[in-house]
Amino acid sequence: MRKRAASDQATSPAVSPEATPAVARVGDPGTGPATVPAPAATGRGVLGLGGVAVAVVGSGVFTYLYLALVARSVPVEDYGWFGSYWSLAIVVGFGAFQPIELELARRVHLRPPGAPLPRGALACLAVLTVATTAVVLLASTRLVPALGGETGFLLALLAVCVVSAGQFLLRGLLLGTGRLGLHGAVLLADSGLRVLFALGLTLLVPSAGGAGYAWTLVAAMALAHLPLLGWVLLRRRSSARPRQADDPPARDLAGAIGHLLTGSLAAQVLLNGAPVLVTVLAGPGQDAAAARFVASFTLVRLPLFVAVPLQSALIPLLTRLQTEGDAARLRGLVVRGAALVGGLAVLAAAGGWLLGPAVVSLVFGSRYALAGGEIALLAVGSVLHLGLLLASQALVAAARHRRVAVVWLAGLAAGAVTLAVVPDLVLRCAAAFTVGSGVALLVAAGSLLWSGQGGPGQPAARPPSLREEPRHAPHA
């Protein structure tokens, strides 16, 4: 979930020149100018971001209704396998395809109205679709046993690989053209349709297993995105302009997405690997414990379900902080942010210990509750991961994409070591997530504090811009 260098215009709503009181021009030699709205012109961006945030929160509520409905409709062991499928679907979507959304949003926003898609966009989508499908097929001998031996889960996951291409192409186009309201509506429609389809399956086929519910996710994704994508592409074709001679080549987009992909996949494995690993590592008689872990982990990740989709809309605001502030101010923000994360982690630990089992029992049923100490460990990990998301996006806004990859790979390595040395099934998976997120957060904070920052009073590093001229009016 990482953007390339000049992501300051990627997802903010476009404004016309007349509506912009002042525009500061920044850019590195040889890369061309980039536009950064002056503070007085950022109000619409904040309002648009607020609308997306409301939609994401609503989508998160629907998501929990959906997961709770599935949990109460299938046996405990079956829900453990469904939870593994759910995590794999998130890894495929946000890990493999969200880089397309982020980079496409940035480039479309910088292009004039009616301009064709950036060179290589559809080719990159095709390559990612084939690659993810091939990886799932190659791993099928391990995946099917981890998914309860149900080939229905595998087939649904293959369908997710195909539908995700259209899903994130549409989201990138909507963000790039400044249609944040429609983007939020799509998020709500997607999550709401999941609830409706799952409820319908529960009423019509009470004996349906987890593999049947897996297809409700595929159906909701397809219905919420693909018809609208077809309409958007037809609108773009009807008003298309000739491609400009200086349009960046396809390899330019492919290179950008390649850099984003490393950090994105590592981030999704760290966030969503534990529910998959707990079912893979479960021994005889441990399927129920694995299902309890999946349900409890799902609940404590509520803030992350909200934060992950919102990241693409945060980049413009973080970039403006980079271009307007100095190094000392940014270091102060990092220190205060770290202190806030530490305080929230303490509160999360206490809440997870005292209230966690009761809340899990209320949402999913008493058969899914872990012990208070285990839920507290997961809650601390979720807070650390939330801080990590914000810190990594600050690195993206500063155009430090290689360091973003280093941050997530460091967390992934720490999680792998923890998983290898801790013996207990539930404890090792919970500790791997928490330790990995904590180590990655420390690396990210260190990079923001010391690497590439000037001395006190020196301007912060400004991200270079793309070679395309900025767009000033929304287009389809």
Q: Is 384 in contact with 341 (CB distance < 8 Å)? A: yes
Range of the domain at 255: 40-450
pLDDT at 380 over 70: yes
- Both tokens of 304, joined, read 């992350």
Is residue 75 included in any domain, yes or no? yes
- Residue 346 pLDDT grade (very low, low, confident, very high; cuts 50, 70, 90): very high
Is residue 389 included in any domain, yes or no? yes
Name the phi and psi angles at 25, rounded to 5.
-100, 125
- Residue 160 pLDDT grade (very low, low, confident, very high; cuts 50, 70, 90): very high
Is residue 461 included in any domain, yes or no? no
Is residue 10 included in any domain, yes or no? no
pLDDT at 35 over 50: no
pLDDT at 429: 93
Is residue 455 included in any domain, yes or no? no
Q: Is 278 in contact with 429 (CB distance < 8 Å)? A: yes
Is residue 382 included in any domain, yes or no? yes
pLDDT at 39 over 70: no
Torsion sign (Cα): 433, 434, 439, 443: positive
Cα–Cα distance measured from residue 354 to residue 364, given in angstroms and rounded to the nearest whole number: 17
Q: What is the largest CA-CA distance in the chain?
A: 68
pLDDT at 42: 43
- Residue 3 pLDDT grade (very low, low, confident, very high; cuts 50, 70, 90): very low
Is residue 356 included in any domain, yes or no? yes
Cα distance between the two ends of the chain:
24
pLDDT tens for each residue of 297-325: 988 887 776 666 666 665 555 655 666 65
pLDDT at 65 over 60: yes
Span 434-458, mean pLDDT? 75
pLDDT at 467: 42
Task: Give 345 or 2, the one with higher predicted confidence.
Answer: 345
Span 126-135, mean pLDDT? 94
pLDDT at 226 over 80: yes
pLDDT at 79: 87
Name the phi and psi angles at 399, rounded to 5.
65, 35
List the single range of 242-256, 315-329, 421-435 with lowest mean pLDDT.
Answer: 315-329
Name the phi and psi angles at 186, rounded to 5.
-65, -40
Task: Give 439 or 334, the one with higher predicted confidence.
Answer: 439
Give me the number of domains the chain comprises: 1
pLDDT at 105: 80
Please, which residues have CB within 8 angstroms of residue 134's CB and are 6 or more apart in sequence?
Answer: none
Is residue 46 included in any domain, yes or no? yes
Angle at 45 (CA atoms; ends 102, 463), nearest 5 degrees: 50
pLDDT at 391: 85
